[in-house]
Amino acid sequence: MVYTTPTKSGRIVEQYRSGRSSRAVAKEFHVSPQTVCSLAKKFKENGNIYPLPKPGRPCKLTAQDADFAVLQLDRGRAENVADLQRSYFPNVGPKTLRRAMRTNGLISAVRRRVPFLTKKHRRARLIWARALQGWTEREWERIIFSDESKFNLIHSDGRAWCWRRVGDGYQDRYTQKTKKFGGGSVMVWGCITPEGVGRLHRITGIMRAVDYVQILEQDLLGTLHNYHMNPHHYFFQQDNDPKHSSHLRSWVDESGLHSLPWPAQSPDMNLIEHVWDILDRRVRARNPQPSSVDQLWDALEEEWSRISSAQVQKLYGSMPNRVAELKKAKGGNTRY
């Protein structure tokens, strides 16, 4: 039924009750005959033409309140539902707020853990992406990726939750900033090549520059030897750790490898980070779990050797897209 004002509805009912036909009344007031009959029926049943009050308790959160709540989350003025309730809606239950957020297209999700990026980091990452944006998959297959990682006996994910829209997971206000090496029991160094995983080295104590060069001498060059790869044809990727600079330059020159410049805080561009994730998930899936650091190292070695060359090759194939996404993000965090 088309909406009519109370005054107009009253006049329609009055004319109809005076004996006029519904068609004649409808023509006069520019409504349909069905509207006239519906108003007359409502008057007969209820004694008036006003809508009946809705049954049940009224909702404490109006549509305008829900829009306001979504706006506070979108603009980062509230972190989650608990923040909304504490700051803006103390008399509204958390279930009501969560239901309203879902109705308005938001989802409850774990905050993505990403590196903390300063303006300097973002600028360096963008410059790097622009410099390498033309590289093909074949060119990336000349890079040997390497890094260190820690693996914990007792795993704590430290997850933080947020409300966001689908696809917004890597926007700054929905991420959890991290720094490298938040604790653990076994530190390892590893590398990957387009042929598959390289050697895995267990690091004990504090690694000095001389120790790092020794690892490269034995395990990096040993990996290339195992795969019959000529060092002169490949680039070595490594981060900007201070211990990787002074002794490394002379060693790289002597080894015949080329060194690929690398922006700080860029694990999303380093393929080995995904291999660490594969390794960690496989070790966590073992039953029984390692109960000592030596057992953990044995498990890491065993699962590392099981990572297939096809998995590594697929990661190499993603590099052109990674660089393109980094450029699109203007040096910010990406989904990788």
For residue range 65-106, list pLDDT tens digits in order: 888 988 888 888 888 888 888 988 888 988 999 998 888 888
Q: What is d(CA 37, CA 21) in angstroms, rounded to the nearest whole number?
A: 10
Q: Which residues contact 4 (CB under 8 A, 6 or more apart)?
A: 12, 29, 31, 35, 39
Contact 148, 188 (CB under 8 A): yes
Average pLDDT over residues 33-42: 88
pTM: 0.66
Which of 216-248 are b and which e, b meaning 16 or more Cβ less than 10 Å from the residue's Cβ? beebbbbbbeeeebebeebbbbbbeeeebeebb
Asked which of 22-36, 52-66, 155-169, 232-246 is least confident by mean pLDDT, the reply is: 155-169
Q: What is d(CA 53, CA 175) in angstroms, rounded to the nearest whole number?
A: 45
- The pLDDT value given to residue 183: 40
Q: CA 24, 27, 30 angle in degrees (round to 5)?
A: 145
Average pLDDT over residues 187-210: 94
Q: Looking at this protein, which amino acid is placed at residue 183?
A: G
Tokens describing residue 317: 């194939």
Share of the chain above pLDDT 70, in %: 88
> Is residue 323 within a helix (H) or strand (E), and if so which, with residue range?
helix 319-328
